[in-house]
Structure 1
């Protein structure tokens, strides 16, 4: 029931809310890509959503490459991801992390986002490139995760990695990151 006493339909708003909650990422539009604008307005509030259709490559057996980066400072936290398909198509994602975290946690968040997206796209092979020696070394088991936070992130990453037929991760220099 609204403030003016009229009953408003709830199902369309719940459906849109579920859709929005299920899309935690922002992507950069591709040239000549069709964008759709969805508008919702009420007396109290209005909102706009810009969306596009994602058409992943058909052959998901060849390796995809996620490049990840994350950073945390007093101004906030972010995680970036560029997922590149075998033919060179790029999907760019930017995440804003709305919780207190460290740089290493932000870097894990970027990797986890890449793993989740690749899994949804039914990618079977990943060759991850990260600019975090700690993250790459923990996953490659040359470093041991020592604090509780890193242990949990490593466990979550390994849980996702197990879904792929092949996976490798390599530490790269920051200037080599996309």
Structure 2
């Protein structure tokens, strides 16, 4: 059960990269992302550091372009299924960037962003699918404008800029897992 925008059981880390939604009652889209820092490497604290605004931009050559980037997601699901929440759901996380869905721009205003630790090409884990399905089911039960049909990938709302969660994400398997929880 979601309490005050937070999922019980999630590790809670309050990201500074958030603000108020223009309409806190308009939560009508769930966006699935994929992330790894450095690219293709899993584990470690770099994703957490990025979302908390504490990434050491000199720690790896790939991090230099991220300097000054202010980004967050509502949640991160690590490879082992661990769930970390950075932004309460009634707040706006900064995950989608320039984006549009069904003719509406600025998807951050009305969406929830869930990051999966992964890449476009490495298969995601069963633990991640199970955790994502549980989180999605809880969100759908809590926010009436959300539905199984309003779950998309970052690639669907920013197709020129983004490719995640990519071809490695098994949409059919995820929707099967979600359906099992909804019955």
Band the TM-score falls in, shorter-chain normalisation: 0.3 to 0.5
Larger Rg: 1
Q: TM-score when scaled to structure 1?
A: 0.33
